[in-house]
C-alpha cells in the first residue's frame, strides 16, 4: 500500500502539471505524460522521470512496473492538494482573513458569467449550514 504524505506538500508548477495529468488519466507512463504536457509545457523525459521519482519518495505518487516501463498514479488526490494549497495561502498570505481572499479574487480576476451567482449561492449555503449547527 503506498504511503500518503503526512502533511500535504508544496508543489512546484511542473510537479502540479504532472499530477494534473495523473488526476485526469488515473495512470500514465513518462512518455504518456510527456505527450500530454505538449505543447504548453515541453519537458524532457528525463526531467519528467526525475520529478516523478521525487514525488514518489515523498509519497505523492506511486508506480507499478509494466514490462520495462513505470506506470504512475497519484496518491495525493486533487481535492487534498487544493485544500492544502488554499489553507497554506489563507494562513500565510492573508493571515487567516477569508474576506480578504474573496475580495482579492473578486477584484483581481475577470469574472465569467455566472461566477457571482455561484459565489452568492455558496455563501448562502454556508450561512444555512452555520444556522443549522447553532440550533443543534
Say if residue 4's pLDDT is above 80.
no
The whole-number average pLDDT for the span 92-105 is 91
pLDDT at 1: 47
Of 77, 71, 61, the residue nearest 27 (C-alpha)? 71
φ/ψ of residue 61, rounded to 5 = -130, 165
The whole-number average pLDDT for the span 38-56 is 95
Say if residue 2's pLDDT is above 60.
no
Residue 34 confidence class, pLDDT cut points 50, 70, 90: very high
Residue 88 confidence class, pLDDT cut points 50, 70, 90: confident
Residue 135 confidence class, pLDDT cut points 50, 70, 90: confident
What string of DSSP letters covers 27-51? -B-HHHHHHHHTTTS---HHHHHHH
Q: Cα–Cα distances in Å, from 44 out to 39, 47, 51, 58, 64?
A: 12, 5, 11, 22, 21
Amino acid at each position: 500500500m503506498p504511503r500518503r504524505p503526512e502533511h500535504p506538500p508544496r508543489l512546484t508548477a511542473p510537479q502540479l502539471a504532472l499530477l494534473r495529468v495523473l488526476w485526469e488519466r488515473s495512470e500514465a507512463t513518462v512518455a504518456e505524460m510527456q505527450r500530454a504536457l505538449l505543447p504548453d509545457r515541453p519537458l524532457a523525459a528525463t526531467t519528467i522521470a526525475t520529478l516523478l521519482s521525487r514525488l514518489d519518495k515523498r509519497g505523492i505518487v506511486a508506480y507499478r512496473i509494466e514490462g520495462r516501463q513505470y506506470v504512475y498514479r497519484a496518491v495525493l488526490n486533487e481535492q487534498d492538494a487544493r485544500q492544502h494549497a488554499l489553507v497554506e495561502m489563507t494562513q500565510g498570505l492573508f493571515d487567516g482573513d477569508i474576506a480578504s481572499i474573496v475580495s482579492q479574487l473578486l477584484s483581481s480576476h475577470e469574472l465569467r458569467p455566472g461566477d457571482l451567482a455561484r459565489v452568492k449561492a455558496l455563501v448562502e449555503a454556508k450561512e444555512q449550514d452555520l444556522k443549522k449547527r447553532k440550533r443543534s
